[in-house]
C-alpha cells in the first residue's frame, strides 16, 4: 500500500495504515497482516448470523438504556447490512486467527461503526457502542449457534426432507421389480427395489430426526455471558432481552444458555451437531455407493440400473459414462467426516473459561451443513431419473442359488446346501436342480421359490 492509498487509524497499540476506502479499522488491519494462513474466510452463513447478533445486541442495549435510541438504531441498521450480505468484502480475515475469534468480532464492530457513523452523522465507536454489553467470548459462540440453527432450519433440513420424500416417491414406482439381495457383496435372498429404496429414505429420515433433536441445545445462546460467563458489563436481563429480539428478527426461537460459563468454555453442542452431520454423511455415502454398484458395468458389472448420463466419462475412452453425482456426493461425505474430526479436536480445546478454537469450529460445522444440503439436492434427480434394467434383475434372480433358503423347512439346511452348490457348479437354476434332488413336486417348489413371495 502506498501512502496515497491509505488512511491512518488508531487503536490501543498505536497508528495503523488501512486501505483508504476500507470499511474496517485498525484491529482488523492488524489481524489481516498477522493471519495469512489459509485464505479461507468466514462463510456467508456466519457473517449473516454475526450481523443479526450485532443488530439484536444494539436493540437490547437500547431497551436497557445502555445506548441512546438514535445510536442503537444506527448500529442495528448497519448490522443488518452485514446480515444481508451488502458488505461481505469488508470481512477479509482468515478463519485461522485468534482462537476466540476476537479479530472477526472487532472486524464486525469496526465495519458496523463506520457504516453507522457515516449514515447517522454521529461518532459511533466500535467498542463503546457496537460492542456494548458484549465480548468476543460470547459473541462468537452465539454466532456459531445462530448460524448453524439458521443453516439447518432453512437449508439442510428442507433439503434432507426433500431427498427423503423424493426417494419415497420413486419407491412407489419400483414395487414391481424383484432383485437379488446382497450381503457381504455376495448373492443373498431377494428383495424388491421399493424395499431397497425405502431403506435409503429411512436413513435420511432418521438423520433428519437426529439433527432436529439437537436443535433445542443449539438454540441456547451464550450471549450475555460476556468475558468469562459472569455477565460483567452487561445489564441484568440482557441475555433474555437479546434472545427475544433475535427470535423476532429471525423467526426462530432462541433462549439464554442455562449456564453461561459452560456456553463459553465448551462447544459440546457444536460437537454434537457435527457428529449428527457425520452420521448423515455415512448415510449419503452408503446411498451413493449403492447407486454406483447398481449402475456398474453396464456389461461387466451389476448393471441393475442406468443412472442419468450427464457428461463424457473419459478423456481417452469414447462412449464411457461415469456415475459422477454419486462420486461427488461420496467425496462431500468424506469431507464432512474429516470436518467432524476437526470439530471434535477443537471442541476439547476449552481451556478453563473459553474454548480457543472457535473459528475453525464455525468454519467446519457450517461447511458440513452446506455440503450435506447441496448433496441432498444433487441426489434428488439421480434417484428420480435412473432407469431399471429389468432383464438383468430377472436373469440374475433366476440363477441365484441362495433361493434354496426357502426350502430349509421342507428339506433341511444340509440338503439345501447341496442343491445350491450343484446349481452354482452346473450353471443351472435352483428350480431345475431341486426338481431332481428335493423330493418336492413342481407346484410346491414354484410356490416356495417364488421370489416375490420371499420378499415379504
Q: Give yes or no for a contact between 13 and 30, defined as CB atoms under 8 angstroms apart.
A: yes
Q: Which of 274, 307, 280 has its CA nearest to residue 387?
A: 307
Joined together, the cell numbers standing for residue 79 give: 448490522
Active site (annotated) includes residue 314: yes
φ/ψ of 314, rounded to 5, equals -150, 145
Q: Which of 135, 89, 133, 87 has its CA nearest to residue 112?
A: 87
Q: Which of 162, 64, 75 has its CA nearest to residue 115?
A: 75
- The residue assigned the cell 456466519 is 46
Joined together, the cell numbers standing for residue 189 give: 435372498
The residue annotated as part of the active site, out of 117, 314, 349, 438, is 314
Q: Give yes or no for a contact between 454 and 430, defined as CB atoms under 8 angstroms apart.
A: no
Rounded distance, CA 40 to CA 96, Å?
Answer: 8
End-to-end CA separation in angstroms for the chain: 74
- The residue assigned the cell 447490512 is 81
Active site (annotated) includes residue 184: yes
φ/ψ of 85, rounded to 5, equals 85, 15
The residue annotated as part of the active site, out of 184, 214, 315, 438, is 184
Q: What are the residue numbers of the active site?
A: 184, 314
Amino acid at each position: 500500500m502506498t501512502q496515497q492509498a491509505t488512511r491512518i487509524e488508531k487503536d490501543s497499540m498505536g497508528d495503523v495504515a488501512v486501505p483508504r476506502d476500507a470499511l474496517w479499522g485498525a484491529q482488523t488491519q492488524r489481524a489481516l497482516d498477522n493471519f495469512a494462513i489459509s485464505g479461507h474466510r468466514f462463510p456467508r452463513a456466519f457473517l449473516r448470523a454475526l450481523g443479526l447478533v450485532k443488530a439484536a445486541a444494539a436493540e437490547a442495549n437500547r431497551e436497557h438504556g445502555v445506548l441512546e435510541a438514535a445510536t442503537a438504531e444506527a448500529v442495528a441498521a448497519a448490522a443488518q447490512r452485514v446480515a444481508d450480505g451488502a458488505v461481505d468484502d469488508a470481512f477479509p480475515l482468515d478463519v485461522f486467527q485468534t482462537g476466540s475469534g476476537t479479530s472477526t468480532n472487532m472486524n464486525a464492530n469496526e465495519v458496523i461503526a463506520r457504516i453507522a457513523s457515516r449514515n447517522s452523522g454521529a461518532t459511533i465507536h466500535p467498542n463503546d457502542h457496537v460492542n456494548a454489553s458484549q465480548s468476543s467470548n460470547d459473541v462468537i459462540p452465539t454466532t456459531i449457534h445462530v448460524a448453524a440453527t439458521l443453516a439447518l432450519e432453512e437449508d439442510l433440513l428442507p433439503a434432507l426432507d426433500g431427498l427423503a420424500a423424493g426417494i419415497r416417491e420413486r419407491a412407489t414406482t419400483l414395487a414391481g421389480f424383484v432383485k437379488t439381495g446382497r450381503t457381504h457383496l455376495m448373492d443373498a435372498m431377494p428383495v424388491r427395489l421399493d424395499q431397497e429404496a425405502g431403506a435409503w429414505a429411512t436413513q435420511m429420515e432418521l438423520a433428519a430426526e437426529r439433527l432436529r433433536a439437537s436443535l433445542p441445545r443449539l438454540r441456547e445462546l451464550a450471549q450475555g455471558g460476556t468475558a468469562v460467563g459472569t455477565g460483567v458489563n452487561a445489564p441484568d436481563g440482557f441475555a433474555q432481552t437479546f434472545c427475544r429480539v433475535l427470535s423476532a428478527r429471525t423467526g426462530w426461537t432462541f433462549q439464554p444458555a442455562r449456564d453461561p460459563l459452560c456456553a463459553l468454555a465448551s462447544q459440546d453442542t457444536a460437537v454434537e451437531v457435527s457428529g449428527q452431520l457425520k452420521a448423515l454423511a455415512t448415510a449419503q455415502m452408503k446411498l451413493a455407493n449403492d447407486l454406483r454398484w447398481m449402475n456398474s458395468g453396464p456389461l461387466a458389472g451389476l448393471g441393475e440400473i442406468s443412472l442419468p448420463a450427464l457428461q463424457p466419462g473419459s478423456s481417452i475412452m469414447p462412449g464411457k459414462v461415469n456415475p459422477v453425482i454419486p462420486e461427488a456426493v461420496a467425496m462431500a461425505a468424506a469431507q464432512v467426516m474429516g470436518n467432524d474430526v476437526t470439530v471434535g479436536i477443537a471442541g476439547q480445546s476449552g481451556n478453563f473459561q473459553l474454548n480457543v478454537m472457535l473459528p475453525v469450529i464455525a468454519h467446519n460445522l457450517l461447511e458440513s451443513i452446506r455440503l450435506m444440503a447441496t448433496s441432498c439436492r444433487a441426489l434428488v434427480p439421480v434417484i428420480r431419473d435412473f432407469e431399471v434394467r429389468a432383464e438383468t434383475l430377472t436373469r440374475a434372480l433366476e440363477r441365484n442359488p441362495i433361493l434354496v433358503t426357502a426350502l430349509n423347512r421342507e428339506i433341511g439346511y444340509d440338503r439345501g446346501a447341496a442343491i445350491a452348490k450343484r446349481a452354482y457348479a452346473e450353471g443351472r437354476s435352483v428350480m431345475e436342480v431341486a426338481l431332481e434332488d428335493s423330493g418336492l413336486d413342481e407346484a410346491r417348489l414354484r410356490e416356495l421359490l417364488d421370489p416375490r413371495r420371499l420378499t415379504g
